Structure 1
């Protein structure tokens, strides 16, 4: 099995995205340069890379990637939604029950999707 350790989001404004993810994750970057920032997001790392600097040039656009955050209850999902609304996050999907569980979706500054979900019990 290949070891997996880094998810990279392509961003337009590294300063705005760094500020957003610093607040979202409640942590500081472990690496930072003019065009790349990396945050710990155990069990992996989250990289932010200025899209104009990526080689080869990426395909796709905003919203083409989704980060999922798993909660243990529908109440936790609802609580995170209320907190993120207070913080001014853009909400793309209000909390609702779907086939896989209770969920909502917010957007980061580049339109990447941030899904918070409580899966259905197995």
Structure 2
């Protein structure tokens, strides 16, 4: 079996979502059209933003049906990103908290997809 190397989020407007993720990731999409945008990430994986109105076969997932997770090295980085994203106006769905796997918070993109930042617990 091969390893997945792309995450696709179904979005209302790939153009608007590409602008959001360009700023969030500090990257320019390698492909951008009214129906699809594609980012190649530092890890080599890809993030696709596909119009939920044109994807075939039709998507059955409602708004906010996905989560992107961003691993950071420690709790201070979790807090720093939370503060920066909140200052940029991102909706915070979960304030920084410690769960069984580590310290985390969750923000939302314009389509309601979750953006989880976390630092794993040591141990």
TM-score between the two structures when normalised by the length of structure 2: 0.94
Count residues in correspondence: 122
What is the match of residue 83 of structure 1? 84
Are residue 102 (structure 1) and residue 86 (structure 2) matched?
no
Distance 1:112 1:28 in 2: 20
What is the match of residue 28 of structure 2? 28
Long gaps (5+) in structure 2: none
What is the match of residue 7 of structure 2? 7
Distance 1:26 1:87 in 2: 14
Distance 2:27 2:102 in 1: 28
Distance 2:113 2:80 in 1: 21
Aligned-pair Cα RMSD in Å: 1.0
Long gaps (5+) in structure 1: none
Distance 1:59 1:90 in 2: 24
Q: After the TM superposition, which parts of structure 1 deviate over 2 Å for at least 4 consecutive aligned residues?
A: none
TM-score between the two structures when normalised by the length of structure 1: 0.95
